[in-house]
């Protein structure tokens, strides 16, 4: 399960829209995982990043199993070793 500690006190924050670009299948897996945990994609990403900044894993066994299922469904064959090797695919030009 996604690690969620008991909320004892809310922390007001200011959120902004971002214009980040991510690998398409990766986004599909993230959206599926957010839906599975009944949370927004933004909330999921905030949690993942905050855990990473503390050197902690954001996911337990159940979530890792769900991630594996979603990766299979969406054909995501990337892993951490892929992170610094991703390049933008060239779009083919169709002839009319």
Q: What is the tens place of the pLDDT at every residue in 4-46?
A: 555 678 999 999 999 999 999 999 999 999 999 999 999 999 9
Q: Are 3 and 58 in contact (CB under 8 A)?
A: yes
Residue 59 dihedral angles phi and psi, to the nearest 5° = -125, 140
The parent domain of residue 39 ranges over 24-76
Number of domains observed in the structure of the chain: 1
Q: What percent of the chain has pLDDT over 90?
A: 82
Rounded distance between C-alpha atoms, residue 73 and residue 53, angstroms: 29
- Higher per-residue pLDDT: 60 or 3: 60
Residue 19 lies in a domain: no
Instruction: Please write down the HEC assignment for all residues of 67-82.
Output: HHHHHHHHCCCCCHHH
């Amino acid at each position: 399960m996604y690690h969620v500690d008991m909320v004892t006190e809310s922390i007001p924050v200011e959120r902004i829209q971002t214009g980040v670009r991510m690998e398409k299948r990766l986004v599909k897996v993230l959206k599926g995982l957010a839906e599975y945990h009944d949370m927004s994609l933004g909330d999921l990403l905030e949690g993942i990043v905050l855990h990473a900044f503390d050197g902690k894993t954001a996911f337990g066994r159940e979530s890792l199993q769900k991630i594996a299922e979603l990766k299979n469904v969406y054909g995501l064959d990337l892993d951490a070793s892929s992170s610094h090797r991703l390049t933008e695919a060239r779009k083919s030009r169709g002839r009319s």
